[in-house]
Amino acid sequence: MPVAARQYVDKYGLRWDSALSDLEIEMACIKRGGRWKKYPKDTETVGAGLEVHYENMRKILWPELDDHRWHRLCRDTQIQSRITVLMGPGSSGKTHAAAWFRLCQYYVFAEACCLLISSTDLRGLQLRVWGEIKMLHTRAKERFPDLPGHLVESKYAISTDNIIEDDVRDLRKGIIGVPCIQGGRYVGLGKYSGIKQKLVLLIADEAQFMGASFLSSFANLDKNVHFESTICGNPNDILDPLGLAAEPLEGWGSHMQPEKTSAWPTRFMSGMCVNLVGTDSPNFDFPPDEPTHFPYLISREKIENTLSFFPKDSLEYYSQCIGVMKIGSLSRRVVTRDLAIKFEARDPVVWAGTPRTSIFALDAAYGGDRCVGGKIEFGKGIFADGTRTVILVHQPQIVPIKVITGSTPEDEIALWIKAFCEENEIPPENVFHDSTGRGGLGTAIARVYSAQCNPVEFGGKATPRPVSLDLFIYDPKERKKRLKRCDEHYDRFVTELWWSIRLAIESRQLRGLPEDVLEELCMRQWDKIKENKIAIETKKEMKERVRRSPDLGDWLAIAIEGARRRGFQVLKLGGDVEVIGGDLGILGDLQKRAKDTVQAHALKAA
């Protein structure tokens, strides 16, 4: 019998075997990059572009899914950028946008692909990104059983190889769910940094709650492979991993809060951020008298319901209904990155050759927060405008606490302090440690090392010391100006401790500030309360807001307190003397007369 002639179909400028399905054709076009030259020396290109081929693939796999402008923006940005940040309020479809696109990539490149999907914990995986991936994969396999990927529920994984549930082999090809917070501790993606597949993909869900080192793992995943990632989350803080990944090229300080959905290039790995603004939802593209077109997206009804409980200026309304970074909160940070750069707090110091004083500080913790120890030193530094007393901050260390038989955590910490200070030739009288609620630690330090070490109690009222050497008030009782006291300026002692760091930076008396310490200092917020006093947020409030304890910041606050007790003074910050609550009397008159005299003799322009 004669062999039947092969049948072909013309599509995208090419002739395809009619035995190929529409899905196979779209996947083949994606493998070729979406658009390519028909022949090597030809100028004619074929293919419709990745945007068209991915969209057609999505419609074939999940024809029930909607098409709207947020979907198209998220799709095109992920295609065009290796690192994409999807930021917005709840119910904006961020996780779904990442899930369907990266799942399509996996299907196309399954034999050389590993897709990591991370969230906070197992519950976060189940409710969000893993649940979405699993649902989409199940639907796709029902329609196209030959698609790659075998669900391994017990491992939160989809394996390219057909392994069984009890198989203990590592999953090197496929999709792996990764809870980054286990047992209350951040564990991250470190153990996956050795994956050697040609294509490594990552969906980082709930990125705002990840640990400080989360983004540093991207560099390890990017080694010797092609790496792409979608980072999803609700804007919370400019210094959490989501805020750092989404930071515009010109920085958050110069970024206007968008009122409409927008996208911008980011500093982090030359990526792109898509900011989905809740009040610009696709549901608002239709008249208000029509039924909600996309029930799973934020709508007029959800905004109205939120406003019935929370005002427009509330954090709840902002996070649930708006979904943009509140840049205005920058003005309420104890320290900002711009402040550190302006006053050169990260720069090295050139010493003047005079004696220097070393201070050891410890922020004690065990059974939860980090136990941080390390040293600073202060002395005369050489600067363009002369010499001045300056503090050099050395990189702090996390104190290892490995309780041995017959030992206690307090003894382990005390032994570490003793070894560190003896190695660095720091006398015990220059050792300062947090004693808040830890009487046993002070006893252990005195017994194991020296009774000359100094406890620092974070609680209680601020001290009567001067705030700085340039902040004056008018005292109506004494009828004269005097330096303002800390107990008149701060609400409590811990605020005084933290604000001393800011004042030292502003007076150009802090150098060598490590990046991780600066990052943590920038997270803590402050406000003005009654009597116009400054109050920083409590540790509990900060931990609830950014899911981190300010251990490194507390360590530096203790260290600077130790330096102040050993003679370090915050210098005049520059500019005119600031007076609060009255004038300077005769001093003010003299100051005005001096200014008038200078101006009278100044050269005038012709």
* Domains located in the chain, CATH noted: 8-56 (no CATH), 79-328 (3.40.50.300), 337-580 (3.30.420)
| pLDDT confidence band for 162 (50 / 70 / 90) | confident
600 membership: H or E segment, kind and range? helix 586-600
179 membership: H or E segment, kind and range? strand 174-179
Judge whether 242 and 233 are in contact, CB under 8 Å.
yes
What are the Cα distances from residue 539, in Å, to 373, 458, 495?
19, 11, 11
pLDDT score recorded for residue 575: 37
Rounded CA gap, 273 and 101, in Å? 16
Mean pLDDT for the chain?
A: 87
**Confidence check: pLDDT of 584 > 50:** no
Backbone φ and ψ for 418, nearest 5 degrees, come out as: -60, -45
| pLDDT confidence band for 594 (50 / 70 / 90) | very low
360 membership: H or E segment, kind and range? strand 357-363
* pLDDT tens sequence across 320-362: 889 998 776 666 889 988 889 999 999 999 999 999 999 999 9
pLDDT score recorded for residue 490: 94
pLDDT score recorded for residue 438: 60
Residue 29 neighbours by CB under 8 Å, 6+ apart: 12, 47, 48, 53
pLDDT score recorded for residue 579: 41
Backbone φ and ψ for 356, nearest 5 degrees, come out as: -120, 155
**Confidence check: pLDDT of 370 > 60:** yes
Backbone φ and ψ for 592, nearest 5 degrees, come out as: -65, -40
Q: What is the mean pLDDT of residues 408-416?
A: 90
Instruction: Tell me the residue length of the chain.
Output: 606
**Confidence check: pLDDT of 413 > 60:** yes
At 191, list the tokens.
């153990």
Rounded CA gap, 248 and 323, in Å? 16
Burial (CB < 10 A; 0-12, 13-18, 19+), residue 24, is: middle
Which residue's entry shows tokens 């005084």?
A: 496
What is the pTM assigned to this prediction? 0.68
pLDDT score recorded for residue 598: 43
| pLDDT confidence band for 553 (50 / 70 / 90) | very high
Reduced DSSP (H G I as helix, E B as strand, rest coil) percent helix, strand, coil of the chain, to 5: 40, 20, 40
| pLDDT confidence band for 566 (50 / 70 / 90) | very high
Q: What is the mean pLDDT of residues 304-316?
A: 80
Closest by CA to 245, choosing from 232, 255, 256, 258, is: 232
Q: Per-residue DSSP letters for 107-145?
A: HHTGGGEEEEEEESSHHHHHHTHHHHHHHHHHHHHHH-T
Residue 599 neighbours by CB under 8 Å, 6+ apart: none
Closest by CA to 26, choosing from 38, 37, 14, is: 14
Q: Per-residue DSSP letters for 420-468?
A: HHHHTT--GGGEEEE-TT-HHHHHHHHHHT-TT-EEE---SPPPSSBS-
Which DSSP letter does residue 319 get?
I
Residues paired with residue 375 on neighbouring β-strands, in sequence order: 360
pLDDT score recorded for residue 542: 86
Rounded CA gap, 99 and 419, in Å? 51
Q: Percent of the chain having pLDDT more than 90?
A: 58
Q: What is the mean pLDDT of residues 79-88?
A: 97
- Residue-wise burial string across 286-323, b where 16 or more C-beta atoms lie within 10 A, e elsewhere: eeeeeebebeebbbeebbeebeeebeeeeeebbbbbbb
pLDDT score recorded for residue 184: 63
**Confidence check: pLDDT of 435 > 50:** yes
**Confidence check: pLDDT of 254 > 80:** no
| More confident position, 380 or 471 | 380
pLDDT score recorded for residue 221: 83
Number of Cβ within 10 Å of residue 547's Cβ equals: 17
| More confident position, 236 or 269 | 269
Q: What is the mean pLDDT of residues 361-369?
A: 80
pLDDT score recorded for residue 573: 47
Q: What is the mean pLDDT of residues 50-56?
A: 98
* pLDDT tens sequence across 163-210: 655 453 456 789 999 998 876 667 788 777 777 789 999 999 999 888
Rounded CA gap, 300 and 307, in Å? 11
Our measurement of the distance from residue 85's CA atom to the centroid of its chain's CA atoms, rounded to an integer in Å, reads: 13
pLDDT score recorded for residue 164: 59
pLDDT score recorded for residue 599: 52
Least confidently predicted of 110-124, 491-505, 576-590: 576-590
Judge whether 466 and 572 are in contact, CB under 8 Å.
no
Helices 493-506 and 551-565: angle between axes, nearest 10 degrees: 80
Q: What is the mean pLDDT of residues 456-477?
A: 87
